[in-house]
Structure 1
């Protein structure tokens, strides 16, 4: 089979992965604190071998996926339990299987009065989960300290990590630490009450990428069909000879 067929197949597969990633980004364009994903592509054969072995035909695949951790805009909600991080850092969340990080600050209260994330996971303070009463006013200062009426109810645990690339992205806006993740308390966080960080997805940019990936996919499938037809004709001619 011609090298061109494999090149078309690898290109089509890579664009299919791109379509999945961009589609997921668009689906979460309005999800608080969501961080968009990206794919990087690489050639399967280096330049010298590509010229000699592959006759100049390009074989490529997605080399890795990564999450763009740039901050989204801060949007006002007026909800006193909502809080946004303006700058670096993560909130700590108590989830199934351990402790996780998130940038989502659209918090609420569960039936027992504990502060929880939008997905219902308990939000951690410096001394564990934070419990509040809705009867009293809730105030959160820029350092993460929470007052429930006149009483200080705790301080939100806000941390930094050595390298965000060591985190594993999970559902519900959570990031899981790995063996390479080093956590440290963020000494001077900047929190804003009554706001949430919006998704960092730019719908117009994602739509452009979606159209480009779709067109590239169609081009690769057309090339694949052409090579397949040529190979079929070559096989027919070979059998006649």
Structure 2
């Protein structure tokens, strides 16, 4: 009978030391993209019973772990965003991700639509349970998060929702632009004037709206920027 896999960090929050250990175990002898490391390390930890990270920005924790490992010559930065993991005489961790059908990976959280081009992005996501409740109450709006980022939007959203929330977010769309700060400010300002900002929410980026209303505002904002 095959011995049951026992995860040594079960019921423990993921820490920088654990991140380093998992990077070696999962990727030793491979060259991988940092985004893949972020995704797979966190998924492996959670799938096997580990607790979410206490740090809000998990991808930054991974970046620091890689930098620390580079000092110890356990990893090498081969090119921008790609790391070679090479520490001898360590076993590879058994990957049990395929045994958990109910666990959602980051790759399975696609945005429904991606618009535009640029080095930054504005995104809109929500939780489907809130949408369903609103529609049952004959309301056409529900809590939506409108934020911005200068890095990978999916990783940014993961860092926000991976700390104890049981539901996977629906990412309605990502709008790429060269000035996400300006676009986000315009959207927030219009929604605030309309009385859409949700009071007592975790942060100032939650609004009682829907994707159709926001995309209309994006078109309006873009027209204003072109006319200015």
TM range (shorter): under 0.3
Normalized per residue, which structure has more strand?
Answer: 1
Structure with a larger share of its residues in helix: 2
Higher relative contact order (CA 8 A, sep 6+): 1
